Homo-oligomer: A and B are copies of this chain.
């Protein structure tokens, strides 16, 4: 009973209240290319101006569609670990290039320059980057770098005081291994080498809120390289395992139609705290 739970207070304050009231829908995001049926997923992290790093990700996936916050699944845990290395445990805010999950490999690139998608995203970036405590922008993957460049073009003065660190996307190892046929061990090593390369630069442009650990990554994920999502990032009452490193949400279905329609939510084995059934 003495436990005090933290949670994300949501979007009650402006400009976020207006942003979540006026999100672009199927008319801007074609449902052939985006899973608009799961609704937009907006952000994760601090909206009160206390963020020191803005993370720009790509698009939400299954864990995000259920938890209603971005970068919560494995990709999110990898980024959380990267931020922890530079001493940032909660002083970040994350948004994605796209509000909806990309459907199919090529769809993401196809809409990289869509003006209406960029307009709405830029309103979020304005809110999070102009006159806030953010000093560094961490883009994950090419689409995020492209999206940030679009914002820089319209806000050159604000961008001039921000430091850009553009790294490979946290799911690059899986994606590129699948696309190229290369072994996952090789693509994982390539990602971690890329992150190592940018780690000092990120560290030198962010004031840490806690201890830093700039030991480079090894050639494979180590036991502490993934970090769980802070309780404060999810809505009130969200189960603890929604923030854990074990996967808990998967697309499921015998055919393409059913698979697009279905997300199966399964409490991880280690979190089944009930008496044996």
Interface residues in chain A, defined as those with a beta carbon under 8 Å from any beta carbon in chain B: 1, 3-7, 9-12, 17, 20-28, 31-32, 35-42, 66, 68, 99, 103, 116, 235-242, 252, 255-258, 260-267, 271-277
Least CB distance, A120 to chain B, in whole angstroms: 9
B236 near A20: Cβ-Cβ < 8 Å: yes
Least CB distance, A40 to chain B, in whole angstroms: 4
Q: Which of B21, B25, B27, B265 contacts A265 (CB 8 A)?
A: B265
Q: Which of B26, B116, B235, B266 contacts A261 (CB 8 A)?
A: B266
Least CB distance, A82 to chain B, in whole angstroms: 26
Closest to A259 in B: B277
Least CB distance, A217 to chain B, in whole angstroms: 33
User: Once the chains are docked, how many angstroms separate the CA of A191 from the CA of B113?
Assistant: 56
Measured between beta carbons, the chain B residues less than 8 angstroms from A25 are 1, 3
Q: Which of B23, B40, B237, B262 contacts A41 (CB 8 A)?
A: B237
